[in-house]
């Protein structure tokens, strides 16, 4: 069975277990979330549900529009019932690395407004310690003028290597949906206290958000190669 099928089974299971009626729903970003939106759209249609969808990125907004779902925003719907989002890695404590697609800032804002944040992923994202599976590092969204001092501070304080994320179909850096840059920090110490590390990095002037999600996710669904789903809760 393909990786895509593994993403799909996780997404379908999460939507079926967490959307039980009319609700305000946070739409995460990335390739796995596409399946969650597909499933949500099917259910909205067949069960005549009223679901207001709050996007976590430009991509999520486009998905909501494509599937004819109702687009909402935090200004009018600041209390979200459940957000379903992908992740780049989930460790045994349910700490997440997110932002592989550069959407960490809006994802964290929406997750922080949600009663429940649920992760959907394929089996390659399931790890014991952060860094076991995802090798591209922890994304940090920064204000462009501050990227060099922040690189120096993070590596000086915690070690590892850090790189400005480069765009692929454009010369120069990736620019986020919020007009910022992304640094990818390849840490070497897998035993850092992620809550403290995240707080210290977030306090550096110029850091907008870090793609470490600590104590935010209630449950993760990992689609398996053979089509089953493994669940992990806090």
User: By Cβ distance, which residue is nearest to ligand R5P?
Assistant: 30
Nearest to 53 by CA among 42, 41, 45: 41
Rounded distance between C-alpha atoms, residue 191 and residue 46, angstroms: 47
Rounded distance between C-alpha atoms, residue 234 and residue 218, angstroms: 6
Residues that bind ligand R5P in the complex, under the rule CB under 6 A: 28-32, 85-88, 98-104, 107
Read off the tokens for 211: 């793609």
**CB of residue 107 to ligand R5P, shortest distance in Å:** 5
Strand 96-97 versus strand 212-213 pairing type: antiparallel
**CB of residue 115 to ligand R5P, shortest distance in Å:** 19
Comparing CB distances to ligand R5P, the nearer of 49 and 218 is 218
**CB of residue 126 to ligand R5P, shortest distance in Å:** 12
Comparing CB distances to ligand R5P, the nearer of 30 and 55 is 30
DSSP at 173? B
Residues serving a catalytic function are 107
Comparing CB distances to ligand R5P, the nearer of 57 and 151 is 57
Q: How far is CA 216 from its chain centroid?
A: 11
**CB of residue 144 to ligand R5P, shortest distance in Å:** 18
Q: Token match 């969808």: residue?
A: 53
Per DSSP, helices labelled H in 22-146 are: 33-47, 58-66, 104-112
**CB of residue 2 to ligand R5P, shortest distance in Å:** 14
Strand 51-55 versus strand 70-71 pairing type: parallel
Comparing CB distances to ligand R5P, the nearer of 72 and 100 is 100
Comparing CB distances to ligand R5P, the nearer of 29 and 151 is 29
Where b means 16+ CB within 10 Å and e means fewer, 5-43 reads: bbbbbbbbbbbeebbeeebbbbbbbbebbbbbbbbbbeb
Read off the tokens for 3: 């990786």
Read off the tokens for 86: 């992908």
């Amino acid at each position: 069975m393909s990786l895509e099928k593994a993403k799909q089974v996780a997404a379908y299971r999460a939507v079926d277990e967490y959307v039980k009626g009319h609700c305000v729903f946070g739409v995460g970003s990335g390739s796995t979330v596409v399946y969650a939106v597909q499933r949500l759209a099917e259910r909205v249609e067949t069960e005549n549900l009223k679901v207001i969808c709050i996007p976590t990125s430009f991509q999520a907004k486009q998905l909501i529009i494509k599937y004819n779902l109702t687009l909402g925003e935090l200004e009018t719907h600041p209390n979200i019932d459940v957000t379903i989002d992908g992740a780049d890695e989930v460790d045994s404590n349910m700490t997440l690395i997110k932002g592989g697609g550069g959407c960490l800032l809006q994802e964290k804002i929406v997750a922080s407004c949600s009663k429940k944040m649920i992760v959907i992923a394929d089996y390659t994202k399931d790890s014991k310690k952060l860094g076991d599976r995802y090798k591209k590092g922890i994304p940090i969204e920064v204000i462009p003028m501050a990227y060099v001092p922040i690189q120096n501070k993070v590596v000086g304080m915690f070690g590892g290597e850090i790189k400005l994320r480069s765009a692929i179909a454009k010369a120069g850096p990736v620019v986020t949906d919020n007009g910022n840059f992304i640094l990818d920090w390849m840490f070497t110490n897998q035993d850092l206290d992620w809550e403290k590390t995240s707080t210290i990095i977030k306090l550096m002037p110029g850091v907008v958000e870090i793609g470490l999600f600590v104590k935010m996710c209630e449950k993760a669904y990992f689609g398996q190669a053979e089509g089953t789903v493994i669940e992990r809760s806090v």
